[in-house]
Amino acid sequence: MSEAILETKGLAAGYGKKRAVFGVDLSLAKGEKLLILGHNGAGKTTLLRAIFGLIEPMAGSVMLEGRDITGRTPAANVADGVAFVPQGHGIFKSLTVRDNLELGAFAENDKGKLPERLETVHDLFPILKERASQVAGTFSGGQQQMLAIGMALMHGPRVLILDEPSIGLAPNLVERVMEAIATINEKLGASILMVEQNVQLSLPLADRVMVIKTGVTVYEGSPEPLRDHVELMKLF
């Protein structure tokens, strides 16, 4: 693996005075797929939101390609090639699929790039082309997740951060979404930072795994040792 594209050092974050993440060191290499596992309430979502600037970190730093981006606004991060797919289908439910995808590229100044990106998204998820005029809230959970990922791609991200993309989806749809994420990584070259609870279906995708428990990293390394203990991992 080459040098880190995204790094955190001693990152701590939470809501109000309550900390949920305690000094997490994380390093995502260029082109890597890093999977963060952990049980409910382990601080995974808080960690991602602090990295992306949706909440102000309480301590520590976030670096993008060696530059300090700690506490920078999401707008600045999006413009700099970091995209975030929040938990629970990050879409605008009252707007059409077309409007959603267009809004995905809101912060893009070079509108000339958009037709090509739209084509990429349509190739990846043909349903988004077929149902462009449909109101997104009428989509099924799986389709909404595809749209959410499609929106994140409209900005041509170098780093794609996903918060539990499998949540609420049937297993066959989870596989479909995981395949798409692998394709985004291979074909579009985006580095992937993904949080998951579905160990079984997300583990095959990962180059490397971090396990977080109550806001602290308890395992970091190859997914191999965990593969034999998927059942055990469910206890997390």
CB of 202 to another protein, least distance (A): 21
CB of 78 to another protein, least distance (A): 3
Minimum distance, C-beta of residue 101 to another protein, in the bound complex (Å): 11
Q: For the CB of residue 160, give the shortest distance to another protein in the complex, in Å.
A: 12
Nearer to another protein, 23 or 74 (CB): 74
Three-state SS string across the chain, please?
CCCEEEEEEEEEEEECCEEEEEEEEEEEECCCEEEEECCCCCCHHHHHHHHHCCCCCCEEEEEECCEECCCCCHHHHHHCCEEEECCCCCCCCCCEHHHHHHHHCCCCCCHHHHHHHHHHHHHHCCHHHHCCCCEHHHCCHHHHHHHHHHHHHCCCCCEEEEECCCCCCCHHHHHHHHHHHHHHHHHCCCEEEEEECCHHHHHHHCCEEEEEECCEEEEEECCHHHHCCHHHHCCC
Closer to another protein at the Cβ: 96 or 198? 96
- Contact residues for another protein, defined by CB under 8 A: 16, 52, 54, 73-75, 77-79, 84, 86, 90-95, 99, 102-104, 106-107, 137, 151, 155
State which residue, 77 or 145, has the beta carbon closest to another protein.
Answer: 77
149/209 with CB nearer another protein: 149
Q: Which residue number, 67 or 111, has a Cβ lying nearer to another protein?
A: 111
- Provide, rounded to whole angstroms, the least separation between the CB of residue 105 and another protein: 8
